[in-house]
Amino acid sequence: MKDDCKTVRVQAPATVANMVCGFDVLGFCLDQPYDIMTLTLLDGTSDILIQHLGAYDLPTDPALNVAGAALIALQEELDGAMGFEVVIDKRIKPGSGVGSSAASAAGAVVAANHLLGGRFSREDLVRFAMCGEKVASGVKHADNIAPCIYGGVTLIRSIHPLDVVALPAPALYATVVHPQIEVRTSDARQILTQKVLLRDAIRQWGNIAGLVAGILKGDNALIGRSMEDVLIEPVRKILIPGFDQVKTRSLSAGALGGGISGSGPSIFMLSASEETATAVAEEMAVVYRGIGIDFHTYVGPIASAGVKIV
Amino acid sequence: MKDDCKTVRVQAPATVANMVCGFDVLGFCLDQPYDIMTLTLLDGTSDILIQHLGAYDLPTDPALNVAGAALIALQEELDGAMGFEVVIDKRIKPGSGVGSSAASAAGAVVAANHLLGGRFSREDLVRFAMCGEKVASGVKHADNIAPCIYGGVTLIRSIHPLDVVALPAPALYATVVHPQIEVRTSDARQILTQKVLLRDAIRQWGNIAGLVAGILKGDNALIGRSMEDVLIEPVRKILIPGFDQVKTRSLSAGALGGGISGSGPSIFMLSASEETATAVAEEMAVVYRGIGIDFHTYVGPIASAGVKIV
């Protein structure tokens, strides 16, 4: 029986960062796709052993692996030597823009914390998992990590010091389309200018304030009209064929709004009902069939829970 | 009896724009000081007659007067000819940074709408009153107008098209100090750079999102730590002697946070209790007595109601 407690399996879900107007600070949790991770505690050693199931050619050296780097950060705050064996069944395609690396990092530390009796807070876990994100993209961002751990919608008010604000999951359905092209997070960051017009920044923070108010007031119309991005989307959408068509057709089909998921190439839309969200998925499919790019779509609620112990 | 209905008296309160991190989009309503305005409906004429009580040398030509310009904008959406006689007892000192011009403009249109049987929506009234602000500062901004009309805290999500989001009044007390120096709104705007670092803008919109979440969740600590301004305050505070001292001493006395009210020179702080807000006023007084600048202080709750019919 005791040995059973030393192994845990988790589902680490995909997440959507930015939510259009909340670049680098907002994100929400999906209920699928998700990675399945199995962690086993190794007493008396600090070894981290990583094994990947599936087709993706991901590093297994812990320092170069997102789950490994997150676990190393966690180990640094442990008293004794504790190692982990990690088996990752990666189902969220790397580079899809729905937080594939965040899922591995978040799943690893939530699972490890469960094995250790829950000694760390959720904010601690975000802090550790951010070290995994740094391995993946060179930047310690938390806008996928936080919703993956907290569920619902999260706001990273500040990175230094870390300040995560949990917002409730609005009763909305997300539609995500992942066109099978590659957009590297590092490239998507590099095309952004370092300076922006104050006028545009004001418009952006009016929108993020509106979006947060809409989420907390349950005002879907306000959520919809606040999902406007005058700074990032106009630049990044160039990297995503079909973006404008997807957006136009989705809104016509009844979506409240949406835009690029994280740094792309996935595009998300939010709708008030599952029926509309499904109709939106069909519109997205029409666009990518027309262009001749392979794609996957997902439809599901904004998930109120993040990484789940299964 | 009928003639009585053609005259109305209102109290038009001072307001605090920006709320530190919400430049140009957030504002809240004070319960004092306030202007007292008396409007009388003049049937069968479009004349607007303006009379000022008190010492301030303000224009009485309707097109050049903030209340007059707001009423002209309202008249343009009336079918018949309706004029107004306006008597303004201005008690909010012009140029103090607590929405003196907004109070006149908002008071005028709320009073006029009352005389006209309430045919316009609050958002219409904001739109009319913004034409008054344009006369005062050259810019059609609404961050003082909206809280003066709606009460509580308001978000101007967008100016074009106008989108006012009403937020509840947090159960907090405001302390305002008005050092008797002049800072012109137009000067305070001109010293701002037109471009800002994206990195700073991200920090700013993390804060405004945190502030809105704090207001709606009733989380005073979050409200406090979100009132941080990395863009505007560092530039504008140079125009306000004693600013850093006021801020440091207010926070030491227990204020949650605060900063420049509008474009200054008034400084506001928010506190969880009236007792703390009063202690903060005393600290502000110590600073300006030390510098040798005359000042007024006000202590009162964030007002949930705006312009009041009395």
DSSP collapsed to 3 states, A181-210: CCCCHHHHHHCCCCEEEHHHHHHHHHHHHH
Asked whether residue B68 falls in the same domain as residue B95, the answer is yes
Asked whether residue A146 falls in the same domain as residue A124, the answer is yes
Let me know if B233 is a catalytic residue: no
Which run of H or E residues covers position A92? none
pLDDT at B2 over 60: no
CATH number at residue A103: 3.30.230.10
Minimum-distance CB partner of A202 among B24, B155, B203: B24
Q: Which residues pair with B195 in a beta bridge?
A: A197
Asked whether this complex has an ipTM greater than 0.85, the answer is yes
Q: How far is A217 from chain B (nearest CA, A)?
A: 8
Residue to mutate among A123, A140, A196, A205, with most B CBs inside 10 A, is A205
More confident residue, B308 or A81: B308
The pLDDT assigned to A5 comes to 67
CATH number at residue B182: 3.30.70.890
pLDDT band at A251 (very low <50, low <70, confident <90, very high): very high
Asked whether residue B146 falls in the same domain as residue B274, the answer is no
Asked, for residue A192, whether it belongs to a domain, the answer is yes
Asked whether residue B29 falls in the same domain as residue B147, the answer is yes
Q: What total of structural domains would you count in chain A? A: 2
pLDDT at A295 over 60: yes
Asked whether residue B159 falls in the same domain as residue B187, the answer is no
Asked whether residue A225 falls in the same domain as residue A256, the answer is yes
pLDDT band at A264 (very low <50, low <70, confident <90, very high): very high
Asked, for residue A63, whether it belongs to a domain, the answer is yes
CA distance A68 to A93: 18
- A-chain residues near B193 (CB < 8 A): 198
Percent of chain A with pLDDT over 90: 89
pLDDT at B3 over 70: no
Asked whether residue B19 falls in the same domain as residue B117, the answer is yes
Asked, for residue A43, whether it belongs to a domain, the answer is yes
- B-chain residues near A195 (CB < 8 A): 195-198
The pLDDT assigned to A93 comes to 93
Last residue of a domain, one of A167, A186, A205: A167
Residue to mutate among B123, B157, B192, with most A CBs inside 10 A, is B157
Asked whether residue B180 falls in the same domain as residue B283, the answer is yes
Asked, for residue B306, whether it belongs to a domain, the answer is no
Would you name the residues of A annotated as active-site residues?
133, 185
Asked whether residue A121 falls in the same domain as residue A207, the answer is no
Asked whether residue A233 falls in the same domain as residue A152, the answer is no
Asked, for residue A44, whether it belongs to a domain, the answer is yes
Partner A contacted by B217 (CB < 8 A) = yes
Partner B contacted by A234 (CB < 8 A) = no
**Where in the sequence is the domain holding A207, given as residue range(s)?**
173-301
pLDDT band at B302 (very low <50, low <70, confident <90, very high): very high
Asked whether residue A163 falls in the same domain as residue A222, the answer is no
The pLDDT assigned to B174 comes to 98
Last residue of a domain, one of B167, B200, B222: B167
Which of A158-162, A181-185, B2-6, B303-307 comes out lowest in average pLDDT?
B2-6
Mean pLDDT of the A186-194 span: 83
Asked whether residue B76 falls in the same domain as residue B192, the answer is no
Partner B contacted by A217 (CB < 8 A) = yes
Find all residues with CB under 8 Å of B79, minimum gap 6, and list them.
none
pLDDT band at A2 (very low <50, low <70, confident <90, very high): very low
Minimum-distance CB partner of B194 among A192, A197, A231: A197
pTM of this structure: 0.96
Partner A contacted by B158 (CB < 8 A) = yes
Last residue of a domain, one of B117, B149, B167: B167
Asked, for residue B308, whether it belongs to a domain, the answer is no
- B-chain residues near A216 (CB < 8 A): 212-213, 216-217
Asked, for residue B309, whether it belongs to a domain, the answer is no
The pLDDT assigned to B1 comes to 37
| pLDDT tens-digit readout, A5-39 | 699 999 999 999 999 999 999 999 999 999 999 99
